[in-house]
Chains A and B, each alone.
Chain A
Amino acid sequence: DIQMTQSPSSLSASVGDRVSIACRASQSITAYLNWYKQKPGKAPELLIYFASSLQSGVPSRFSGSGSGRDFTLTISSLQPEDFATYYCQQTFSTPWTFGQGTKVEMK
């Protein structure tokens, strides 16, 4: 199975900050990497698919980059609604696997 490792596990930031979250796969997954956002008590929502494609309706301050084993989710200017937990997920091969999550908290 492909293991996904996110860093950091948590971070503190302020509104307006630029925030980056890293995700590393245990082997190459080309670009089959998705990012999700989850707020407490809510279902996850898809932000980015295929490493860098923005899901319809997602604000353009979210962007994804990377290929092979290393990927990054960037929020260019953090907004109050962006304080949440973010997960990466690989769909290169089954079983699909998630990272352990990165919690973005208010500083």
Chain B
Amino acid sequence: QVTLRESGPALVKPTQTLTLTCSFSGFSLDTSGMCVSWIRQPPGKALEWLSLIDGDDDKYYTTSLKTRLTISKDTSKNQVVLTMTNMDPVDTGTYYCARSRTPYYYYGMDVWGQGTTVTVSS
């Protein structure tokens, strides 16, 4: 059974760096063509894809946040970490991680975590 779970701080201050961890089980991110993505959703708004990392350790980012995001993986721990620098109140929302199976551009994001809510406020 494939599961993903997001974790991280519920509250961050403006200008701080956010670090989110996606812990997963039931698959390996060592497999070429597999990937884990991060997606966020501001309250009452649409989904926004942020980043992905794949089994070959290739990394991709959304254009508008490219300079603020870093994604990495620890395959020994089955974790994917996303950091976002210089947090602003507009970054408030729910952050999800999701898995795509091989080949990931074909199968979509088939398993999602439950999401973690992040509020940016002083």
Complex Cα spacing A34 to B109, Å: 9
The interface residues of chain A lying within 8 Å CB-to-CB of B113 are 43
Interface membership of chain B positions 17-49, coded 1 if the CB is closer than 8 angstroms to chain A and 0 otherwise:
000000000000000000001010000001111
Given contacts A43-B115, A45-B112, A89-B49, contact A95 B105 (CB under 8 A): no
Chain B interface extent, by class = 20 to 34
> Among the interface residues A36, A46, A50, A95, which one has the most CB atoms of the partner chain B within 10 A?
A95
Does any Cβ of A come within 8 Å of B9's Cβ?
no
Complex Cα spacing A93 to B107, Å: 14
**Which residue from A38, A50, A101 sits with its C-beta under 8 Å from B106?**
A50
The interface residues of chain A lying within 8 Å CB-to-CB of B49 are 89, 95-98
A43 → B minimal CB distance (Å): 4
**Which residue from B61, B106, B109, B114 sits with its C-beta under 8 Å from A32?**
B106
Complex Cα spacing A43 to B96, Å: 8
Interface membership of chain A positions 70-107, coded 1 if the CB is closer than 8 angstroms to chain B and 0 otherwise:
00000000000000000101011011111111000000
Complex Cα spacing A98 to B46, Å: 8
Does any Cβ of B come within 8 Å of A55's Cβ?
yes
Does any Cβ of A come within 8 Å of B63's Cβ?
yes
Interface membership of chain B positions 50-69, coded 1 if the CB is closer than 8 angstroms to chain A and 0 otherwise:
00100000001111000000
What is the chain B residue whose CB lies nearest that of A95? B62
Chain A contact residues: helix, strand, loop or mixed: loop
| Contact of A101 with B62 in the complex, beta carbons under 8 Å | no
The interface residues of chain B lying within 8 Å CB-to-CB of A34 are 108-109
What is the chain B residue whose CB lies nearest that of A38? B47
What is the chain B residue whose CB lies nearest that of A1? B63
B109 → A minimal CB distance (Å): 6
| Contact of B47 with A46 in the complex, beta carbons under 8 Å | no
Complex Cα spacing A45 to B74, Å: 26
Complex Cα spacing A87 to B114, Å: 17
Given contacts A1-B63, A43-B113, A96-B37, contact A101 B46 (CB under 8 A): yes
